[in-house]
Amino acid sequence: MDNFSPGFHGRTNRFEGRLPPGQYPTESFPVLSAGPTPRVLTETWDFGITTESGQRHSWDWDQMMALPQEDLTVDIHCVTRWSKFDTSWRGVSLDAFLEDVETSADFALVHSEGGYTTNLPLEDLTDGKAWLVHTFDGYDLSPEHGGPVRLLVPQHYLWKSAKWVKGISLTPQDEPGFWESVGYHDYGDPWREQRTWSD
Ligand SMILES: Nc1nc2c(c(=O)[nH]1)N[C@H]1C(S)=C(S)[C@@H](COP(=O)(O)O)O[C@H]1N2
Ligand SMILES: [Mo]
């Protein structure tokens, strides 16, 4: 053990390479909402995808729960600089929702209860990169964190992970969402530190 140093197997090393530039790790889970927390009931919940030709596909709660459920553990990064490692969620991959949706659109505008929106290239919602999640850490997702269902797109800053998600419109052109239209970066990659328009 020539190179043994105390703490080598300790906390700092465990997350090496997993903290994007300008971020700090936190154990807590802050709540960041632009408005009041809406109370969304699973009994009346539904989620719709509308294509560029106006075709609408929708799922109610039971139909969503009947789709393949996945457990995932991911790191999340907020543009306000906190990162949280190994968050665990259960939900449905966007791939499952998009399976029967015919589209040639390149962009998605995500809509939430309450009017919040956020935009992403459609390819960032496919191939196992995005989920609709209803469970956090083994419990029903709380209303403050977007329950009963939020989008989770961990490869982007967390403002792209729309809480209380209710629909996605697929569009040929990129349309900025709520924060993207007032100065947040259009794409929001934490590893390239794309926080604002000037990044
Ligand atoms: N519908 C909706 N989704 C939202 C927001 C919001 O205000 N409304 N805030 C975004 C921002 S800026 C962040 S950082 C994360 C915060 O998620 P949290 O409150 O679960 O930490 O949610 C994102 N999703
Ligand atoms: Mo945020």
Can you read off the two tokens belonging to residue 67?
């789709």
pLDDT per position as a tens digit, 111-151: 999 999 999 999 999 999 999 999 999 999 999 999 999 99
Average pLDDT over residues 189-195: 98
pLDDT per position as a tens digit, 59-118: 999 999 999 999 999 999 999 999 999 999 999 999 999 999 999 999 999 999 999 999
Q: Where are the domains of the chain?
A: 46-190
For domain 46-190, give the fold. Answer: Sulfite Oxidase; Chain A, domain 2 (3.90.420)
Please tell me the predicted confidence (pLDDT) of residue 1.
39
Instruction: Print burial letters for 141-167: b (CB count within 10 Å at least 16), e (below 16).
Output: bebebbbbbbbbbbbbbbbbbbbbbbb
Please tell me the predicted confidence (pLDDT) of residue 173.
98
**89, 75 in Cβ contact below 8 A?**
no
Q: Is there an atom of ligand 1 within 6 Å of 162 CB?
A: yes
Which residue's C-alpha comes closest to atom 5 of ligand 1? 33
Q: How far is the CA of 52 from the centre of ligand 2 (A)?
A: 28
Q: Specify the pTM.
A: 0.94
Percent of the chain with pLDDT over 90: 92
- Mean pLDDT, rounded, of the chain: 94
Q: Is there an atom of ligand 1 within 6 Å of 171 CB?
A: no
